[in-house]
Chain A
Amino acid sequence: MSTRLATRGRLIDRSKPIEFTFNGTSLRGFEGDTLASALLANDQMLVGRSFKYHRPRGIVAAGSEEPNALVGLGSNRRYEPNQRATTTEIFEGLTATSQNHWPSLEFDVGEINSKLFSRFLSAGFYYKMFMHPKPFWKHVYEPFIRHSAGLGKAPDKELQDADTYEHFYFYCDVLIVGGGVAGLQAAKTAASSGAKVLLIEEKNYWGGRTPVDGGTIEGDDAQDWVTKTVAELEAMENVILRSRCMGAGVYDHGYILGYERLTDHAPDMAGPRHRLWRIRATQTITATGAIERPLSFAGNDVPGVMLAGSMRDYIANWGVLPGQRVVVATNNDDAYRTALALHHAGADVVRVVDAREEGGGKLAEEVRGLGIRIDNGRAIAKVKDGKRVTKVAICPQNGTGGAREEIAADAVAMSGGWSPVVHLWSHCGGKLTWDAEQAHFKPDPLRAPTGADGKAFVVTAGSSSGPMDLKSVMANAAKAGINATQAVGRTAVDAGEIKTSVISEAPMLPVWLMPANADIELRMKTWLDYQNDVKVSDVQLAAQEGYESVEHTKRYTTLGMATDQGKLSNINGLAILADSLGAEIPQVGTTTFRPPYHPISMGAIGGEARGEIFQPLRKTPMYAWHDDNGADWEPVGHWRRPYAYVQDGETVDQAVNREVKNTRENLGLLDASTLGKLIVKGPDAGKFLDMLYTNMMSTLKIGKCRYGLMCSENGFLSDDGVVARIDEDTWLCHTTTGGADHIHAQMEEWLQTEWWDWKVYVTNATEQLAQVAVVGPNARKVLEKLNATAGGGLDLSAEALGFMEWADGKIGGFDARAYRISFSGELSYEIAVPASQGLAFWEALVEAGQEFGAMPYGTECLHILRAEKGFIMIGDETDGTVIPQDLGLHWALSKKKTDYLGKRAHSRSHMADPDRWKLVGLETLDGAVLPDGAYAVGEGVNANGQQNTIGRVTSTYYSANLERGIAMGLVKHGPDRMGEVIDFPGLDGKIYQAKIVDPVFYDKEGEKQNV
């Protein structure tokens, strides 16, 4: 029976009762309780079911190492699976449900796995079976396995998380992780140097275990020392303390993640739920303490079997007595503290089972003095199975488990010794060394993780360094503070020896199995990894089958792969493995420690980036107008561009067709602001552009424009656009929307890293200007009307501004630059105005254009218009594997220039291959639209049995002007095969027959644009 004590409980406030529910039952706790302590206070020993065997499981630990007590917490938009009861602070209205059982926690059908099949479900059993009949894996076995695995249930598929998250970048000289006495001392020492110090502690209280374990520091009772020290640190300007903030991971170059849980303990509080601290610390001190190891005996997973240290935590911290009749099993002196705590809290310590023949030291004497029976050299043979502890069988440690004595008990406190928490030390490459005396791995200070400067950047402090007694812990912590401070170039005040109480302890005895030669029946009931149901026999089987590397054993048995990452099981597991292999533990080594120390929410990792700030959304100055006027948006990089403007009663396709016709017949307006506009200036600008473009740009006359192509060094077409020469040493290069940033970056790269002696400057002016394409037979009319009505002298007549020319001036009162260029084959002007007037200019055009039939058009119409004219589009006709020659763009490849990017590449054998597919137009025989991406089939199959192909569609549209499908494609020997009909099988099963034609479908003579 687990009960709440009338006294004790330093962390709870009995004046503040709290109601919460567990599996629908209303229970009470106090402010300061964890869910685990509150459950225990209500005698709720059974809290969950194990992963594989669905064994009844209770709370074993009191901190984040807890493997069993995982619950589903909250509901709806605040539901979260797999929350640890031991790290969950209770609050009014908390709802928790246990996991991994059906139909209920008490009666779980899955338990049959444990009762009947457990011996069949040994390590790796599924690799050996479920192979026949073959389809059964997908349809029977796998679904079954998946449903019985998996722990908590998934959050609702449709609900958005109710909470928000954020990040915080923080920089300090010394970061201390862990706010136990060691962390506090290290912080105090480091802070004395004036260094900027951040101290983080995952729990909501300071001091770690010491106030529970007792002792004095500098003459004060541990708790008083903690209170005093915290106050001292809080008063210092150079120190920041954060509780509820876990050191989650240590990454390269001193980058550390802090995971601060802001509202988990009070979900109704406004503000972000979690904050991910992205800390860059010159030195990090990990003062993360030590974790107690369970003992490996049969039935060590029965609810009521608990870590000894945790049991006294429950008594001291939360005033909860987990059992009335308790057996304490140990291989070291520390567990006697639990015996004392139990006794003083009123429990009956029915036996202390000490595996050591010699027994314990001073603390043992004290226990014996209280009349408690201590059995030396003995072990727990077995705890009787069930939903809670009822009987404990005791036997000699050096035996197979025979000669048992059975005693009645309702709880067992076990201690297998303590292991330093070395996770953070190890994340970034810190190495460990084996301490045979204490039987644990501890950090090897000579092989610390190293940072950007090649020097160690992590120091450990306190029990996470190895020493377990208070005196050495404090000395080690102070030293860590001094070392870290030195490493940041400062001098700490050396406080000298820190006086503490001293209790000498007898040496511990490594005990990896209880009893030492436990028979197979017992080993099959002896748990190593509670959550993943890995037993001693599993590890032994893995070794027997040749999975000898500790990494193989881990993966074969799943030891240490559960949500606790083996905090309790790893060392015990590898000791068993070492024993099975006849090897020493350090030879076997550990598995790799990886972040996070303890699972962290995905929400926190994503941070603020959700909803409208999931990603930047780039908007042109006319964005709002488009949105108000029916824009069907298309994402283009981070931009959003109107695909079409849908009017009432129209489908998107109808809108596109309307726009296509209207632009050719009347007037279309396109927001072309996203096109890249790079200004290139300098005495060597012409020479530079000649290198970047395949054609000649240096000879372009001022006032003129030229269409240019760019290739990568690898020869592939990468961008295109119209280049205008502005003055003697200035050019303006238009790029594609996607190309703007990237071509700009590329220009800078060549200028800075290859031709750094060339005098050229580049500025990306893309966003300075809003650009509108005014397209169609009425293009000139609308602009002239603007000039006439609103003033503006720019002469836009054919004579003053010829095709492929540009001019600056005022149009309708706006400062403008007009380019007479055309991507549609129509009379067309592209007009740039300052972005701050883009919307006004656009609106002016729309209004003035009314009488000329002006309509805005979107990207799809743009595509169709250019396809009707056989103009290529980067990203359609090109895909990163296409060279200009494939597209019949030889005319744009300068013969005069000795060099330009891509030129050398074009002479490689495959690029000069006459069999390359070449651009042609394609017309279906029946006028249908060729399917996008279709391939043309050739004769036969290739060496791998694949159908041979001879071409593919690169763009295909319905042309409303021609009232038929038009397409372009790349076809083997295409230009030589005009008029031939080739077959394109569609995904719909139909074969589309298309004639190879010239790619210019509309206005072949190009008369329309030249008016």
Chain B
Amino acid sequence: MKRYSAFAVAREALRYNTGWGRAWRSPEPKKHYDVIIVGAGGHGLATAYYLGKNFGITNVAIIEKGWLGGGNTGRNTTIIRSNYLQDPSAAIYEKARSLYEDMSQDLNYNVMFSPRGVIMLAQTEHEVRGYKRTAHANALQGVPTEWITPARVKELVPIINLAGPRYPVLGGLWQERGGTARHDAVAWGYARACSDMGMDIIQKCEVTGVRRDGDRVVGVDTTKGAIDCNKIGMVVAGNCSALSDMAGFRLPVESVALQALVSEPIKPCMDVVVMANTVHGYMSQSDKGEMVIGGGTDAFNNYTQRGSFHHIEETVRALVETFPMVSRLKMLRQWGGIVDVTGDRSPIISATPVEGCFVNCGWGTGGFKAIPGSGWAMAELMAKGTAPLAEEFSMTRFREGKFIDESVAAGVAH
């Protein structure tokens, strides 16, 4: 595979780019793989990548019903942060964040990780206390975050209206090393690297059944025929209930629509990511210039990738209040994704009642930031049977009552 570099780009430019090969191959499936990953979203691809990179397991197929990266990975607001309250969350998100820092170099694909900083605004006393608590927790978790004053907020976000007037900004939790990344590039970069290791990415191929021998998994049925394997990793986000049904177990997950929208592009006006949870709005500006805005989730099961307009209304209303200049911008496009939400709104990275079958799901509204960390942990779990980062995210926690609840510190999950 050709290495990407400024030099290569220049050389190719001179010969009209005729020398660029495919970023990933498009092979026909083989009869058997050691591991099949179902779902070529960020988490599936990252799992495959670290199976290869960390454990030398490369006889792997990644099976995708649509186009790789076309699920939630291709439709999220790209916020990356690790200032979570609970230890298990902070551990895996911080692992992910630190992997993001080197991802472009590691994959030789510029994923444009932009550590521009994330502010979570505190606009009620309750939030102030919640975020101070998080800051204390983060300090002990090795996640550098900072409680900042309103004046500092204004410095970082000149377009904000500190005075409210309804919910004056009382401060904020600032993670300087948080930021955004180019979401599609994350999927493409992993895909290219996986393909390069000899893994097969099989697109437009839907898994329609999970084949078992007793309690053990032996393969999958797909729209391109049956494929054998020793282990399966189900990494299909909003479709995880359908997949677990095929394997014969149930998951504590519901699939709901989450929406986002972008404004028309404008010149740079906001250099950090801002999350305003009291009024339900978050926003960042992409490198192209659009304001990227996250909306709310519907409360009913839905597989249409569309959501209800009143969530868009609620979000925009909040942002107009928080950033008055937004009022005279225009919405360019809105869309939805189907997110998989668990009982405690934290993910599942877990072995399942079916031997050889592993599941990674439940990232809900906030799993983009976790992609490398989750792939890392999932690969370790699949290769070795246990992984410290995944330990607490087992699906058995619901039975024990051992939840990982992040909402407690006034936080949301994005």
Q: Which A residues have a C-beta under 8 Å from some C-beta of B?
A: 51, 78-82, 119-120, 122, 125-132, 134, 137-138, 142-143, 145-147, 149-161, 163, 249, 251-252, 255, 257, 278, 428-429, 520, 524, 537, 541, 544-549, 551-552, 555-556, 558, 563, 565, 592, 594-596, 599-603, 605-607, 609-611, 614-615, 617, 634-636, 643, 714-715, 875-876, 879-881, 905, 908-911, 931-935, 937, 942-947, 949, 952, 985-987
Check if B325 sits within 8 Å of A937, measured CB to CB.
Answer: no
A614 to B312, CA, bound (A): 15
Check if B10 sits within 8 Å of A602, measured CB to CB.
Answer: no
CB under 8 Å from chain A, chain B span 102-157? 102, 104-105, 108-116, 123-126, 128-130, 132-137, 139-142, 146-147
Between A and B, 9 residue pairs with Cβ closer than 8 Å are: A128-B4, A131-B105, A134-B101, A137-B110, A150-B288, A153-B266, A546-B22, A599-B332, A944-B388
B223-231, B239-247, B315-323, B355-363: which lies at the A interface?
Answer: B315-323
Check if B400 sits within 8 Å of A150, measured CB to CB.
Answer: no
Check if A255 sits within 8 Å of B330, measured CB to CB.
Answer: no
A428 to B188, CA, bound (A): 29
A606-B391 contact, Cβ under 8 Å, with A149-B289, A563-B265, A908-B401: no
Check if B400 sits within 8 Å of A126, measured CB to CB.
Answer: no
Check if B9 sits within 8 Å of A635, measured CB to CB.
Answer: no
What are the nearest 3 A-B pairs in CB distance? Answer: A933-B133, A150-B289, A908-B401
Q: How far is the CB of A19 from chain B (nearest CB, A)?
A: 24
A602 to B141, CA, bound (A): 39
- Of A548, A603, A943, which contacts B391 at CB under 8 A? A943
Cβ contacts under 8 Å, B67 to chain A: 549, 551-552
A428-B306 contact, Cβ under 8 Å, with A129-B9, A715-B401: yes
Check if A908 sits within 8 Å of B166, measured CB to CB.
Answer: no
* B interface: dominant SS: mixed
A608 to B5, CA, bound (A): 51
Cβ contacts under 8 Å, A986 to chain B: 136
A599 to B328, CA, bound (A): 11
Check if B23 sits within 8 Å of A605, measured CB to CB.
Answer: no
Cβ contacts under 8 Å, B328 to chain A: 78-81, 155, 161, 601-603
Check if B132 sits within 8 Å of A134, measured CB to CB.
Answer: no
A933-B134 contact, Cβ under 8 Å, with A151-B289, A879-B409, A880-B405: yes
Check if B141 sits within 8 Å of A154, measured CB to CB.
Answer: no
Other A-B contacts than A82-B330, A153-B266, 14 sampled, CB-CB below 8 A, are A122-B13, A129-B110, A134-B102, A152-B266, A558-B288, A599-B263, A602-B327, A605-B316, A606-B320, A610-B317, A614-B166, A634-B124, A933-B134, A937-B140
Taken residue by residue from 330 to 344, chain B's Cβ proximity to chain A (1 for < 8 Å, 0 otherwise) reads as: 111111000000000
A146-B133 contact, Cβ under 8 Å, with A126-B112, A134-B105, A520-B16: no
- Of B304, B324, B334, B388, which contacts A159 at CB under 8 A? B324
Cβ contacts under 8 Å, A947 to chain B: 140-142
Cβ contacts under 8 Å, A255 to chain B: 309
A150-B325 contact, Cβ under 8 Å, with A129-B110, A875-B126: no
Check if A565 sits within 8 Å of B329, measured CB to CB.
Answer: no
B54 within 8 A of A: no
Check if A935 sits within 8 Å of B140, measured CB to CB.
Answer: yes
Cβ contacts under 8 Å, A592 to chain B: 335
Q: How far is the CB of A955 from chain B (nearest CB, A)?
A: 9
Interface size classification for chain B: 35 or more
CB under 8 Å from chain A, chain B span 15-72? 16-17, 20-26, 66-67, 69-70
Cβ contacts under 8 Å, A599 to chain B: 263-264, 330-332
A122-B287 contact, Cβ under 8 Å, with A614-B317, A908-B400, A931-B136: no
A606-B313 contact, Cβ under 8 Å, with A81-B329, A150-B288: yes
Look across to chain A and name the residue whose beta carbon is closest to the beta carbon of B326. A602
A605 to B312, CA, bound (A): 8
Cβ contacts under 8 Å, B329 to chain A: 81, 154-155, 601-602
Check if B132 sits within 8 Å of A600, measured CB to CB.
Answer: no
Check if A161 sits within 8 Å of B324, measured CB to CB.
Answer: yes
Cβ contacts under 8 Å, A944 to chain B: 87-88, 91, 95, 388-389
Cβ contacts under 8 Å, A257 to chain B: 309
A876 to B331, CA, bound (A): 39
Q: How far is the CB of B320 from chain A (nearest CB, A)?
A: 5
Check if A137 sits within 8 Å of B125, measured CB to CB.
Answer: no
- Of A81, A251, A933, which contacts B264 at CB under 8 A? A81
A82-B110 contact, Cβ under 8 Å, with A119-B16, A125-B9: no
B407 within 8 A of A: yes
Check if A602 sits within 8 Å of B265, measured CB to CB.
Answer: no
Look across to chain A and name the residue whose beta carbon is closest to the beta carbon of B124. A635
Q: Which of A134, A154, A537, A600 has the most CB of B within 10 A?
A: A154
Q: How far is the CB of B139 from chain A (nearest CB, A)?
A: 7
CB under 8 Å from chain A, chain B span 72-92? 74, 87-88, 90-91
CB under 8 Å from chain A, chain B span 209-235? none
Check if A138 sits within 8 Å of B289, measured CB to CB.
Answer: no
Taken residue by residue from 373 to 398, chain B's Cβ proximity to chain A (1 for < 8 Å, 0 otherwise) reads as: 00000000000000011010000010
A157 to B323, CA, bound (A): 8
Check if A602 sits within 8 Å of B289, measured CB to CB.
Answer: no
Check if A946 sits within 8 Å of B321, measured CB to CB.
Answer: no
B308 within 8 A of A: yes
Check if A933 sits within 8 Å of B136, measured CB to CB.
Answer: yes
A552 to B266, CA, bound (A): 24
Check if A909 sits within 8 Å of B400, measured CB to CB.
Answer: yes
B353 within 8 A of A: no
Look across to chain A and name the residue whose beta carbon is closest to the beta carbon of B182. A127
Cβ contacts under 8 Å, A249 to chain B: 309, 334
Check if A932 sits within 8 Å of B188, measured CB to CB.
Answer: no
Cβ contacts under 8 Å, B66 to chain A: 549
Check if B287 sits within 8 Å of A555, measured CB to CB.
Answer: no
Q: How far is the CB of A304 from chain B (nearest CB, A)?
A: 26
Q: How far is the CB of B65 from chain A (nearest CB, A)?
A: 12
A617 to B70, CA, bound (A): 42
Check if A157 sits within 8 Å of B405, measured CB to CB.
Answer: no
Check if A545 sits within 8 Å of B20, measured CB to CB.
Answer: yes
Q: How far is the CB of A249 from chain B (nearest CB, A)?
A: 7
Look across to chain B and name the residue whose beta carbon is closest to the beta carbon of A119. B13
Check if A129 sits within 8 Å of B6, measured CB to CB.
Answer: yes
CB under 8 Å from chain A, chain B span 249-290? 263-269, 278-279, 285, 287-289
Look across to chain B and name the residue whose beta carbon is closest to the beta carbon of A617. B166
Q: Which of B74, B133, B182, B285 has the most CB of A within 10 A?
A: B133
CB under 8 Å from chain A, chain B span 398-414? 399-403, 405, 407-409
A775 to B87, CA, bound (A): 42
- Of B22, B69, B159, B317, which contacts A606 at CB under 8 A? B317
Look across to chain A and name the residue whose beta carbon is closest to the beta carbon of B165. A611
Cβ contacts under 8 Å, B324 to chain A: 158-161
Q: Which of B113, B279, B327, B388 has the most CB of A within 10 A?
A: B327
Cβ contacts under 8 Å, B147 to chain A: 987
Check if A635 sits within 8 Å of B129, measured CB to CB.
Answer: no
Check if A932 sits within 8 Å of B388, measured CB to CB.
Answer: no
B158 within 8 A of A: yes
Look across to chain A and name the residue whose beta carbon is closest to the beta carbon of B333. A594
- Of A126, A600, A714, which contacts B330 at CB under 8 A? A600
Check if B105 sits within 8 Å of A151, measured CB to CB.
Answer: no
A582 to B56, CA, bound (A): 37
Q: Which of A163, A617, A908 has the most CB of B within 10 A?
A: A908
Cβ contacts under 8 Å, B101 to chain A: 134
Q: Which of A130, A429, A565, A635 has the most CB of B within 10 A?
A: A635
A128-B330 contact, Cβ under 8 Å, with A149-B288, A881-B403: no
- Of B91, B125, B158, B166, which contacts A634 at CB under 8 A? B125
Cβ contacts under 8 Å, A154 to chain B: 159, 266-269, 325, 329
Q: Which of A601, A880, A931 has the most CB of B within 10 A?
A: A601
Cβ contacts under 8 Å, A636 to chain B: 124
B203 within 8 A of A: yes
Q: How far is the CB of B161 from chain A (nearest CB, A)?
A: 8
- Of A129, A145, A614, which contacts B321 at CB under 8 A? A614
